[in-house]
Structure 1
């Protein structure tokens, strides 16, 4: 239709079309996880053996001895200790043991940061997983002083007490960290994808726990198949190398259209024939209680709200009650029984409800009160970048006439732009954060916020254009049990930002 035109905008549009066409396919695409891979290799290695996977784990170690991105130190302890345990258990050669020593030295040097850490910055289930790993390390002769982690053990005890009051069932949020719950009875706990909580690590623990139970042979075979499918989602093609979560069907089919919407691309002629199949994906994943980020997992307010936004944008009905059921006082909880709410999720709930004409003053105030003095909203339990959180709140409050807060947030974004035109919440520029910042500024520009945005937007777009098509490593800014990248969603955001501004300069022949 337009693929014969060899200009960047048409190349980007064709790539975007292919991505949108494949949203949700094969459970989504996501980066590999050191933690889940190390746990799988130690607990239930693939039939091909653990060597190739251990080589991959070893190669991820950083120069300081730890695993994970040095820019996000609090997210490094879980993958580091899991990697140390796997190497210590499965390899006795000198090089591997030196890696173990370096990993332990890293953990000991960084332990004090747990004495003063904001709860909202914690990786998913770290309060369950890290104490479990520390205890496991002690059992195999790797001693770590527990005292710096005293607060974390206290939080674990509090959560365990809370979990005694609810029934833990398949496809519920607690199952995602089942490997750390301490109750590994060989029960029939598999969900629709034949996993334990959409978690490769939890599924590996279940497979280990159910060895010697012939009555579960069919379920075990299905769980083994799940691990193979999860590994395929990483694109790494190494036996046993898996992501931290899979599938991410609901996440892909809701977050990507949200980016398209803010770039005014959702109704682009080149994507028009893809909206009906995308709606079919939403219908297949929707229940009367909402939608999950996976596939028939526990519904959460985040993707439930974004699905509602998509439905409204294409003229399809939805019930605000599916969002309101998550309301808890002055805010929305992502999942029932969570210990700390998410600004990210609340922004999406407020956005969806306001678009539907249903104002929630308490939740709007909840968002406003969490704006920092410098105009930012801090990074969230689901994402490590304050730029991303701030952008999502801008989208929500822009619907609520929150002029002062929006102006202050715009100033924060402008002040954070680097001299080369890019953005990055750490010392490094990233395509993902630059894309998100540009999209937020575009929203402010359309709302006549009173800020001078033209020049910053031009400089940011120029930087993004210069870096968008260069072969690169995925930028892992999303926060799960460790940092990760949802490949398709991140790329849709980049392409949406590019096309939003390119299309204003060049006429697209569709």
Structure 2
């Protein structure tokens, strides 16, 4: 390693120590604000401190075309939430509404009408098929009210939004109205029930939160002055808006999720940092016989459980992964019981957890080796024709591909993962952008980091074009790293960024740049030929 490389590695380690310190200082986790969630808190908790700031955030976040949120169908959920919140504010407290609210609402209704009439497809984000019909109905109710009042702000050219499929929403309403138990997976979007959600006796907040969601919690609280108000739920909401009483994230807290994902990225890249014993102890304590959830009030899930198990093993504190077996569907693992759909990244993380124990523990080979091998085969079958993978928890195929390739390269039996990994590498080389970065909509530091994790981290013979792709990718990463915020890419009810998780991914790419620099300078040798650390 050159003197410059040693200096760079020291800087990466220093940045990683700062990241670990931030996780300890902010145990709830650092997540970007959510237009969707903020709109629901504006609508259902106007009494919460910072209401005016949240309205201003919605106005400032509106796009030129009248919508909110990400590209394409990703705009629909945040836009219906923002529009309904603005119309509800104008209807309920018009005197206190900021200037520009009516114009913003009109532009939003116009954008929504166009998307719904064209049948814009919704991405596979949580509860989208419940959220959109619930809020379209409320928007239309507001528009009917304004029309009856002769309100000229909404009388010219605006009409009711087109009807959308509400069969699943109607089924959920019927289930809850009949007094049947509320499915735990519904709690994260409990706000879709409207008045039925208020103090529902079948729902008990966990650490003050309903489904780890400010929106769901605000809908459950209803009127904070009504008898029997839950002080812990009120405190949760106050914490969610933060010290500045501002917009809110979709999911909070994300303590275990943030720590497990960030530490696993650093561990895979062998960033030379040692987490505080308390951080490791907290992760171990979070694991129960059912696994661990992403946040309070959410069901335990195979994704968070497997990453937690894997990172504890990599840090020298292995825990038997038996809790994962309750998610085993035979062909693959569900993220949680009753999941609609399947996730390749969840299964890639399960492969890492099972594969590590199969390789490194006495009983692991016989207990988990066969299941890991079968899961590797399933992941290979899920590869797209172009060589990538796509997933339901992230908008970018670069994230999914990085997760799957990393797992296959390290833990798939010989002969199972190699061809799939090679096709993925060829896809990465072919889809690099002119500026050297990678990204679904534009080159980003996050997605470029995921591509470099693959190109610098795998143990396969070097494919054509890889060294040059790495050089260009490193240049792009050095140009954009820490200079601007990337667009949100992670799936919740709308797109968000888990800030420290993404920062850890970028630091891991920078670390790989130094420890695998021989691949760039000597393309004929495998990037991991001299690797000695336990993987």
Report the TM-score, using the length of structure 1 for normalisation: 0.86
RMSD: 2.6
In structure 1, the partner of 2:381 is 369
From the superposition, tell whether residues 26 and 190 of structure 1 become closer, same or farther in structure 2 (CA, over 3 Å): farther
Alignment partners' CA distance in 2, 1:161 and 1:302: 31
Partners in 2 of 1:22 and 1:327 — Cα distance? 35
- How many residues are matched? 475
Corresponding residue for 1:343? 344
In 2 relative to 1, CA 504–338 (structure 1 residues): closer, same or farther, beyond 3 Å?
A: closer
Matched, 1:241 2:238: no
Query: C-alpha displacement at 1:115, in angstroms?
Result: 6.5
| Partner residue, 1:476 | 488
C-alpha displacement at 1:108, in angstroms?
Answer: 1.3
CA contact (8 A) 1:432 1:475 kept: no
Give SS of 2:403's match: helix
Match of 2:135 among 133, 136, 142: 133
* Mapping for residues 32-431 of structure 1, pairs under 5 Å: 32-48=33-49, 50-70=51-71, 73-91=72-90, 92=94, 95-112=100-117, 114=119, 121-141=123-143, 144-147=160-163, 149-150=164-165, 153-157=166-170, 167-168=181-182, 172-181=184-193, 183-187=196-200, 189-208=203-222, 210-211=223-224, 213-214=226-227, 216-217=228-229, 219=230, 221-232=231-242, 238-265=244-271, 268=272, 271-272=273-274, 274=275, 276-295=277-296, 297-357=298-358, 358=368, 359-360=370-371, 361-378=373-390, 380-398=391-409, 399-400=411-412, 401-426=416-441, 428-431=442-445
Give the C-alpha shift of residue 476 in structure 1.
0.6
* Residues 425 and 463 in structure 2, CA contact (< 8 A), matched pair in contact too: no
Q: CA deviation at 1:405?
A: 1.0
Bigger drift between 160-169 and 195-204 goes to: 160-169
Q: CA deviation at 1:65?
A: 0.6
Deviates more, 1:429-438 or 1:185-194: 185-194
How many angstroms does 1:26 deviate by?
Answer: 2.8
**Structure 1 residues 168 and 442: CA distance shift in structure 2, 3 A:** same
1:162 and 1:317 map into 2 onto residues whose CA distance is 42
CA contact (8 A) 1:41 1:240 kept: no
Relative to structure 1, the CA distance from residue 159 to residue 434 in structure 2 (aligned partners, 3 Å threshold; closer, same or farther) is farther
What is the CA–CA distance in structure 2 between the aligned matches of 1:112 and 1:6, rounded to whole Å? 58
C-alpha deviation, 1:157, in angstroms: 4.8
Counterpart Cα distance in 1 of 2:39 and 2:294: 24
Deviation string, structure 1 residues 376-433 (Cα, Å, up to 9, x no partner): 112x22100011111111112222141111111111111111122111111x110000
User: What's the secondary structure of 1:462's corresponding residue?
Assistant: helix
CA–CA separation in structure 1 for the residues paired with 2:175 and 2:325: 23
How far the C-alpha of 1:295 sits from its partner, in A, is: 4.3
Matched-pair contact (CA < 8 Å) for 1:410–1:451? no
Gaps of 5+ in 2: 145-158, 359-367, 519-535
